[in-house]
Structure 1
Amino acid sequence: MGTWDIGPFDNDTAADFADALDDATSEEREALIRGALTRTADATGWLAEGEEAVAAAALIAAQCPGGDPVDSPYGPDSPMPAFSDDLRTLADEALARVMSDEAGPASNWDCPEAWKQWRAGLNRLRTVLAPPSLSIPLFEIEQWQSVIRHRT
């Protein structure tokens, strides 16, 4: 059947990946997810596991602040372990690779509107996966500059 909708588990490959996660022990699940993300992020040429990486990224994003739960009937039924923090960055890198590959999962879309919705979903995942900004608000910088000027 291939791809039937825009969700991270709405294709045969991702649904099979969910089955593999369900068949794995709790301890093995993070390794399966890390493997799919690493192979995708490091891939050169054609992407073999882009759909799995999208599904894995969705599971990681679900554990992040602002993340949406994975409630697809094609997703894993088993609860996921709490994932290591470093998987957020790896998932973002894998999604960037998926989005840059015109011949990979992006080629599944015959309908331009569905393709736009799918990309918007990937962008949403990347936004959730992005680590929190460590920047200092501008007004605090201006306040500190004022304090420093008064002290000198």
Structure 2
Amino acid sequence: MGTWDIGPFDNDSAADFSYQIDQAAGADDKAAVFLAAFRDVAETGEDAFLDSYYSVKAVASAALLAAQCPGGEPVTTSYAPKDAIPVLPATLRPLAVAALDRVLGPDSELLELWEESSESEEWKAGVLRLRAVLAGADA
């Protein structure tokens, strides 16, 4: 995975994932892309190895979902989806939180890769901010 910064779309896999979101036809299809990204991560067992490819998509999806919540920051990078994201179902938020918990948990390749970086703490703080926005939106 080519990574050039710590943002949710600052890597090749997330940038490619943007295209997948843009290709989804309608609001329901786009929501299904987000649902799959969160499930691919949240539904892995705690003892199972979590490949970074799936984690990157979940973090990118969480950033887009959090942008629609109170306190969420807009995603403005040119690597994000080009098309507007329709209002996503609030029911995705708890699954997004669970996915982010899994990304930051044991046997997460993405976490391991970031822990080898000098920007590890800044990256983790960004993921935790997303989680806080998403968890707070459910309160």
TM-score, reference length from structure 2: 0.88
Match of 2:101 among 81, 96, 100: 96
Q: Which residue of 1 aligns with 2:4?
A: 4
Give 1:129 shift.
0.5
Q: Which residue of 1 aligns with 2:82?
A: 77
- Which ranges of structure 1 fall in alignment gaps of 5 or more residues? 135-152
Q: Which residue of 1 aligns with 2:22?
A: 22
Residues in 2 aligned to 1:38 and 1:67: alpha-carbon distance in whole angstroms: 22
- Which ranges of structure 2 fall in alignment gaps of 5 or more residues? none
Structure 1 segments (4+ residues) deviating >6 Å = none
The answer to which structure, 1 or 2, has the higher relative contact order (CA under 8 A, 6+ apart) is 2
Distance 1:93 1:53, change over 3 A: same
Higher radius of gyration, 1 or 2: 1
Q: How many residues align?
A: 133
TM-score, reference length from structure 1: 0.81
Matched, 1:47 2:50: yes
Output the aligned Cα RMSD: 1.6
Residues in 2 aligned to 1:77 and 1:39: alpha-carbon distance in whole angstroms: 24
Which whole-Å deviations, capped at 9, do the CAs of 1:88-118 have from their partners, x for residues lacking one?
A: 1111110000000454211223323x11000
Residues in 1 aligned to 2:135 and 2:102: alpha-carbon distance in whole angstroms: 15
Q: Which residue of 1 aligns with 2:35?
A: 34
Read off the aligned partner of 2:8 and give its amino acid letter: P
Residues in 1 aligned to 2:137 and 2:88: alpha-carbon distance in whole angstroms: 17
